[in-house]
Chains A and B, each alone.
Chain A
Amino acid sequence: MELKVKERVLAKLEKIVGAEHVSTALPDLYSYSQDMTENESRWPDFVVMPRSVEEVQGVLRLANREKIPVVPIVGGANIGGLTIPLEGGISLDLRLMDRVIELNEEDMYIIVEPGVTFGHLARYLDKNCPHLTYSFPAAPPHTSVMCNALLMGMGGMMLPLGGNFDNINGLEVVLPTGEVVKIGSCSVSPYWFSRAPLPDIGGLFVGWQGATGVVTKIAVQLWPKPKYAELTSFLTYDIGTTFRFMRRIAPTGIVTGVSAYPYEGIKVYIGRLEGPVERLPGEPLFTGLIVISAYSEAELKAKAAARDEIIQEESKDTQITTMPGPEMVLVGDNIQHLIRGTIEYKGAVTWMGTFGPTSRWAEATEKVFELFDKYRFPRYGAWSPLRSGHFGMWRPIVAFNKDNADEVERVRKFMQEALVVALDSGFVPYKAPYWAVKAMMERGDPNWVELLRRVKKMLDPNNIMNPGRYGAPEE
């Protein structure tokens, strides 16, 4: 950006948000230029931290006049490079907009601003309505409730509830052109109880990676917190058994969650091992977790019996070993204790996180295991069914050293090939990095692509919002 333009824009930004909430300092721009993934660094020109909807409007109107890109960010911990400003401009850090706007206990929803984190939400619920909970993900506590939902993230109760994107009741959005609009029942009713029964235009902002506007409020559903929970670990020894077992248990309504992780990766990442991976004879292929929860002891007992019956039947011809897991009181919450620190511990991590048909898990997994071996990474990832198994998460994961150029190169190649495996097997990336979005737009239904571009152009005529992603104009 030309210096003269930069100075002019800086002066205007300072008037909108206050000088202490704008930065052009190099160490700040550096921080916002990259994330924990292998995606290349691109520097913003400004970091701006608004504190109100009016300030967001002011920034977007200015950005439109000056044709400056705007990239919304809160925690920046999405594993997709989604907040790296591909074309420079303003990193719009919404962290200071961190109020809980309304808790509606009776109708079981909460309205929060972008900067409300999972830690913040957990604490708030604990204090104000301990009988309600949210589907907390296995994410660092300082990450955004809103961003997780908008980016198609999921939580510990994804099996019965679906992803957190399924449980959005409403939004308040600042459009790229500066207008504020309410989405969902809240646009007609004083209550944010659902996006139904109105035409669901929430889809214009969910999954778009900030390319269609800045969401400034989100209403998400809360759920009665089960009083009892039980965690069981399992080990399986072949791909077929693993996914057959998970696909069988998923739609029964017995379990709150079931997930599988390649044993090799657990061994390496939790054990913090370095060097070539040694696969021992008879070693399990997967380890997994089954969570059941209940509102009474009798219910828990019945679910446990049903779970054990399935395990017993599945174990007849193939080996499934189970053991009780650590004590847990709160569904979903303690998962953070299990997972945190495994995947980010080397300083960088990436994944090909996708949703897809669980019927194709085995096929895609066989192929991606070959890729792990080809590129010399431990086999790791996460596999979980959502919404009673109507679809599932298929997510190969790689932790790597960002200061090792060879590893970064191998990771990039792995990711390119993993994308092909995913798409060929019918899986679709969520939180897709720009290059995966491009590949999907090239492969996808041309009318779908055209519609994406039309929507983007309609909402964001000057293409200021996180350009280079979904709906990007043809090159």
Chain B
Amino acid sequence: MKVLDEVRNWAAKCARCGTCKYFFGLYLPSCPPGEQFHLEGYYPSGRLWIGRGLQEGALSLEDEDVLERIYTCTACRACEVNCVNLCKEHIVEVIEAIRQMGVSEGCLIPAHTFMIDSLRKNDNVLDKPKAERGAWAEGLGLKDITTEKADVIYHAGCMLSFDPEIWGAARDAIALLQQAGVDVGIAGKEEACCGGRAYEMGYLGEFTKYAEHNLETYNGAGASKLIVSCSDGYSHFKLLYPKINAKMNFEVLHIVEYLDQLIKEGKIKFTKEVPMKVTYHDPCHLGRHNSIYDPPRDILHSIPGLELVEMERSREYSWCCGAGAGVKEAYPDFSLRTANERIKEAKATGAAALVTSCSWCERNFKDAIKEYGEKIEVYDIAEIARKAI
């Protein structure tokens, strides 16, 4: 088994001091699988030590117990906020490298194999027909960027495209952009997955294929900006695409960045009161991965009548929703329990609604509410903002 450099260089740098297990200063738990399963192997330190064990030959990727500990990580990076050692910025990198090693050795997780098969067949990870991808945009009169030019492209992403229950995030985002006079188009049913989930699950080849395809499509479209509502997708475009060393002729912005900009430029004006107490969940891929914490808060603060209260674990100390990196598909019970922890935390603020800016977070919170019955509304930030115009 070929041990990748990331594992070789960083796995042995973990002292298992335990600092990764708490948000420092708050002294509150930070690692969802560690808190769920308790055994050391489910914590970040345990995973790094698994990397060491693989390198030593003491452990094998053919061992399902090893795979479970490696794949229950949502790549939320809470551990990287807390870690004080040399491996601090490399923990998730090591875990992803171990996953790549597993995939290359044929040590696969069935749920992920299913997702990758879907990707290959339908250009999405959700096993939905490709032809239905643009259905969310019906009636919005958007330009089709495969046949005409638009200044801004909106990339909906797999989750938003195929889940009618959360289409509001995309449709309301578009409404806000149109109100601001933005010339926006979409790829519709020709849009393809960003490939990021494949990367996170260890399928480097699939990721590269989709990254190259999307870069060709979007570079060719001649737009100045690519706007994404899905935080996972945003992060993959921003942080993973540069790994394939291809030029990106457009700026990538998350919808919160763009809306915040448009509000501050006076192009979006909130004229209606939204008398609601809300709390905001920082998606890991937007917050910890890309340090975007203020724009969504600025948006919420600018909505008349809206009161924003913070959860104790917020910003870089945010508790993960439990959906990322293929965990929702492979370990659904664990994923929903993690989301429910966050729902309870949101409710404890007294907020009537939990607002977020990621389709995967939104989906998982809504599923957790269905499963566990907590009473709180969940909105995408665009949906809340749309109420104010």
Contacts and interface: CB of A to CB of B under 8 A. Distances in A.
Contacts of A401: 12-13
A23 B66 contact: no
Interface in B29-73: 38-41, 45-46, 49-50, 52-53, 55, 58-59, 63, 65-66, 69
B50 to A, nearest CB: 5
A143 B58 CA distance: 27
Contacts, number: 119
A25 interface: yes
A23 B46 CA distance: 14
Given A49-B39, A123-B27, A27 B87 contact: no
A77 B18 contact: yes
A26 B16 contact: no
B66 A26 contact: yes
B103 to A, nearest CB: 18
Contacts of A340: 19, 84
A45 interface: no
Contacts of B66: 26-27
Contacts of B28: 123
Contact of A122 (B19, B27, B50, B65): B27
A315 to B, nearest CB: 35
27 contacts: A25-B65, A26-B59, A27-B41, A27-B46, A27-B50, A27-B69, A28-B41, A30-B41, A31-B49, A32-B40, A36-B17, A77-B17, A119-B24, A119-B27, A141-B18, A141-B19, A141-B24, A142-B18, A142-B22, A340-B84, A341-B19, A341-B85, A346-B13, A347-B85, A347-B86, A347-B87, A403-B52
A345 B53 contact: no
A246 to B, nearest CB: 27
Contact of A347 (B15, B22, B55): B15
Contacts of A28: 39-41, 46, 65
A133 to B, nearest CB: 14
Contact of B84 (A47, A49, A75, A341): A341
Interface in B135-182: none
Interface string B83-94: 011110000000
- By Cβ-Cβ distance, the 4 closest A-B pairs, closest first, are A341-B84, A119-B27, A142-B18, A25-B65
Given A93-B38, A120-B27, A272-B86, 14 more contacts: A25-B65, A26-B53, A26-B58, A27-B46, A30-B41, A30-B50, A30-B58, A31-B40, A31-B49, A32-B40, A49-B38, A93-B39, A341-B84, A346-B85
B366 interface: no
A49 B21 CA distance: 17
A27 B19 contact: no
Interface in B156-214: none
B63 A27 contact: yes
Interface residues of B, number: 35
A402 interface: yes
A306 interface: no
Nearest to A36: B15
A402 B15 CA distance: 9
Interface string B265-290: 00000000000000000000000000
A304 interface: no
A140 B16 CA distance: 10
Interface of A: 21, 23, 25-28, 30-32, 35-36, 47, 49, 75-77, 93, 95-96, 117, 119-120, 122-123, 140-143, 272, 340-341, 344-349, 401-403
A126 to B, nearest CB: 9
A47 B27 contact: no
B63 A75 contact: no
Contact of B26 (A117, A123, A341, A345): A123
Contacts of B39: 23, 25, 28, 31, 47, 49, 93
B105 to A, nearest CB: 16
* Residue in B12, B17, B55, B59 whose Cβ sees the most chain A Cβ within 10 Å: B17
Interface string B227-260: 0000000000000000000000000000000000
Contact of A349 (B15, B27, B55, B69): B15
A347 B59 CA distance: 19
A347 B10 CA distance: 9
Contact of A344 (B12, B49, B85): B85
Given A26-B63, A140-B18, A345 B85 contact: yes
Contacts of B22: 117, 119, 141-142
A341 B24 CA distance: 12
A47 B13 CA distance: 24
A349 B26 CA distance: 26
B16 A76 contact: yes
Contacts of A35: 16
A66 to B, nearest CB: 22
A31 B86 contact: no
Contacts of A122: 27
Contacts of B18: 75, 77, 140-143
A26 B65 contact: yes
B311 to A, nearest CB: 16
B97 interface: no
Contacts of B24: 119, 141
Nearest to A119: B27
A30 B84 contact: no
A140 B58 CA distance: 28
B84 A347 contact: no
Contacts of A344: 15, 17, 84-85
A56 B157 CA distance: 50
Contacts of B53: 26-27, 30
Contacts of B41: 25, 27-28, 30-31
Contacts of A142: 17-19, 21-22
B14 interface: yes
A95 B18 CA distance: 12
A159 B38 CA distance: 36
Nearest to A41: B58
Contact of A95 (B19, B38, B87): B38
A216 to B, nearest CB: 18
Contacts of B46: 27-28, 31
A95 to B, nearest CB: 7
Given A27-B41, A49-B39, A122-B27, A348 B65 contact: no
Contacts of B26: 123
Nearest to B43: A31
